[in-house]
Amino acid sequence: MARLTFMGGIHTFDGKDLSKDQPLVTLLPKGDLVFPLSQHIGAPAKPLVEKGDSVLVGQIIAESDGMISSNIISSVSGTVKAIEKRLTSEGKMIESIVIVNDHEYTIIEGYGADCDYTKMSKDEIRNKVKEAGIVGLGGAGFPTHVKLTPKDEGKIDYVIVNGAECEPYLTSDYRLMLEYPHLVIGGLKIILSLFDKAKGVIAIEDNKPDVIAKFKDLVANETNIEVKALKTKYPQGGERQLVYAVTKRRLNSKKLPADLGCIVNNVGTVASIYMAVAKSTPLTHRIVTVSGDAVANPQNFYVPIGTNFEEIVEAAGGFKTQPKKLIFGGPMMGTSMFTFKLPVTKTTSSILGFIKDEAAVEESACIRCGRCNEHCPLNLMPIGLQMAGIHNEYEKFLKMDGMECCGCGCCSYVCPANRSLTQTILQTKQVVLSKQQEHHELHELHKNHAENK
C-alpha cells in the first residue's frame, strides 16, 4: 500500500493501545456546565442570556460577534447561574456562562429534525454551519463557516478530511471513524456539494488499518471520494504536512489551504457538519479521550460541551495514582495544567494523566548533534532560533524563518540536551507578533496624522 508522507518528523511512543479498543461511552453530567465565550479563534461570542434565564439543549446562549467568531450553544437544560470569569484548559481566565443542570436535558424545538441538504442552497448550508457554532475540533478552533467560504470557491479542487490523529495517546477520532463512519462520509458529501470542481480525500494514518479498510469499503461506489493511507509519523495531521502529503503543494504561514485549492477539516468537524446540516443538531457534544498511565480505565467519552473534566475522570475510574503531570489536548501540542476541574470546550480533545513528569528534566548545553534540524518538518534550524530568541535578536529570528514554526514540538522531543526549543521559539514568535502589531499601529497613527494636516 503506497503511503503518503512529508520530510522530517518523528516516531513517538503512541500510547494509543491504552484506550483505542474501548467503545465510546455517552456521559450525562450531573453538575453545573460552564461555557467559555471564547472557544474559538477570533472575537469572543456575545452572551444572549442573563443570570436567572432558563435555557434548553440546542439554544444559542452566545452569538458570534464579528467575521471571525462563533455561536455558543447550550448542551444542557437548566438555569443560568452566572456569567463570570472561569479558568479553561488553555490556562486562561475567560468570561463564561455557567448553567445549573436540571438533569432533564430538554431540547429546543426542531433539534434533531431530519433535513435534506440536496434541496438546500450553498448559502443555506453555510448558514446552518454558522448557526450551529462549528469550529475546528482538532484543536485549532477556527470557525468552520469561514473556512467553507473561501475567496475563490471555483479554485477548490480538494476537500481533505484529516483522519491522521497523529498526537500520541489520542483515540477520539479513531473511535468516531470506527463507530460512526457514515457521519464522516455524510459530512464530506455536504462539503463537496459546496465546491463544484472538488474531489474528496479521507486521509488516515496507516496505524489504523481497520478504519482505512472500513472507509474504503463504504466509499467503493463513490466516484468523487478517495481514501488515502498516510505514513504514521508525527506531525502527519498538521495542516501543512497533510496538504503536502495529499497534493504535494507547499503551504506556509502566509497562505491558507484554500489559497492552494484545499479545504481541510478534522474528522470530528466533518461529522459535526453532517449533524448540523442533515440532523439539525448544533455543536453541543464532542468526544474526549481520557488516558495516560495514571488513569484507572482509559477510554473515550461522548460528552456535552461544558461538562467538568472531574466528572469524566471519575467515570473513567479516577486516577489509580496521583498524576505528576496533567495534559489537555495531546502530549506534543497540548497544555500542561495543575488541575483537571475544568470545562470541556469545543477544542479540548483529551485529558491525559501521567505518573511521571518527563519534562521535569534539567536543560543542558547544546552538543551540536543536529537532531533538531534533521527532524524539523519545516526544515528550520531550531537551536539557532532558540538562541536568537534568548538574545532578543528578532531580525535574525525573522531571517531564519522563525515565524514559520508550527509549534509541533519535534525538536524538543529529539533533543538529548532537553532544551526547551519549542517553548522559546513560540514565545519569541509572540513577542515578534506584538512588535509587528505595535509597528503597524504606529505607522497608521503617522499616516492619519499626515492626512489630517
**How far apart are CB 366 and ligand SF4 at their closest, in Å?**
3
Residue for grid cell 493501545:
17
**How far apart are CB 372 and ligand SF4 at their closest, in Å?**
3
| Residue 324 burial (CB count, 10 A) | 13
Sheet hosting strand 33-36, strand order edge to edge? 33-36, 93-101, 78-87, 54-55
Interface with ligand SF4 by CB under 6 A: which range of 165-173, 290-298, 301-309, 399-407? 399-407
**How far apart are CB 406 and ligand SF4 at their closest, in Å?**
5
**How far apart are CB 180 and ligand SF4 at their closest, in Å?**
32
**How far apart are CB 88 and ligand SF4 at their closest, in Å?**
23
> Which residue's CB is nearer to ligand SF4, number 48 or number 359?
359
Of 406, 424, 428, 429, the residue at the interface with ligand SF4 (CB under 6 A) is: 406
HSE, side-chain direction, 13 A CA sphere, residue 101: 17
Cell of 347: 477544542
409 scored as a contact of ligand SF4 (CB under 6 A): yes
Of 192, 411, 424, 429, the residue at the interface with ligand SF4 (CB under 6 A) is: 411
28 scored as a contact of ligand SF4 (CB under 6 A): no
> Which residue's CB is nearer to ligand SF4, number 177 or number 372?
372
> Which residue's CB is nearer to ligand SF4, number 44 or number 409?
409
Interface with ligand SF4 by CB under 6 A: which range of 147-155, 269-277, 315-323, 375-383? 375-383
> Which residue's CB is nearer to ligand SF4, number 135 or number 421?
421
Nearest C-alpha neighbor of 210 from the set 246, 183, 239, 181: 181
Asked whether 194 and 128 are in contact (CB, 8 A), the reply is no
108 scored as a contact of ligand SF4 (CB under 6 A): no
Interface with ligand SF4 by CB under 6 A: which range of 73-81, 176-184, 335-343, 369-377? 369-377
> Which residue's CB is nearer to ligand SF4, number 263 or number 327?
327
368 scored as a contact of ligand SF4 (CB under 6 A): yes
407 scored as a contact of ligand SF4 (CB under 6 A): yes
**How far apart are CB 236 and ligand SF4 at their closest, in Å?**
13
**How far apart are CB 126 and ligand SF4 at their closest, in Å?**
32
Output b/e per residue, 20-44; b: 16+ Cβ within 10 A: bebebbebebeebbbbbbbbbbbeb
In the region spanning residues 417 to 446, those forming contacts with ligand SF4, defined by CB under 6 A, are: 417, 419, 421-422, 425
Nearest C-alpha neighbor of 177 from the set 161, 193, 201: 161
Site string for ligand SF4, 307-346 (x = CB under 6 A): ----------------------------------------
How far apart CA 163 and CA 178 sit, in angstroms, is: 11
**How far apart are CB 251 and ligand SF4 at their closest, in Å?**
13
**How long, in residues, is the chain?**
453
- Residue 233, classified by CB atoms within 10 Å of its CB into exposed (0-12), middle (13-18) or buried (19+), is buried
Q: What letter represents residue 173's amino acid?
A: D
378 scored as a contact of ligand SF4 (CB under 6 A): yes
351 scored as a contact of ligand SF4 (CB under 6 A): no
Strand ranges, E, within 317-442: 325-328, 335-337, 350-354
Q: Are strands 54-55 and 60-63 parallel, antiparallel or unpaired?
A: unpaired
How far apart CA 161 and CA 272 sit, in angstroms, is: 13
**How far apart are CB 238 and ligand SF4 at their closest, in Å?**
9
371 scored as a contact of ligand SF4 (CB under 6 A): yes
Q: Are strands 33-36 and 93-101 parallel, antiparallel or unpaired?
A: antiparallel
**How far apart are CB 380 and ligand SF4 at their closest, in Å?**
4
In order of 79, 137, 378, 405, the CA distances from 421 in angstroms are 46, 27, 14, 11
> Which residue's CB is nearer to ligand SF4, number 22 or number 241?
241
> Which residue's CB is nearer to ligand SF4, number 253 or number 448?
253
Of 33, 380, 387, 400, the residue at the interface with ligand SF4 (CB under 6 A) is: 380
The residues, ordered by sequence, that sit 6+ positions from 438 with a Cβ below 8 Å of its Cβ are none
Give how far the C-alpha of residue 144 lies from the chain's centroid of Cα atoms, to the nearest Å: 11
In order of 20, 38, 145, 162, 432, the CA distances from 141 in angstroms are 24, 10, 12, 14, 23
> Which residue's CB is nearer to ligand SF4, number 354 or number 397?
397
HSE, side-chain direction, 13 A CA sphere, residue 265: 29
Chain positions contacting ligand SF4, by CB under 6 A: 366-372, 376, 378, 380, 382-383, 405-411, 414-417, 419, 421-422, 425
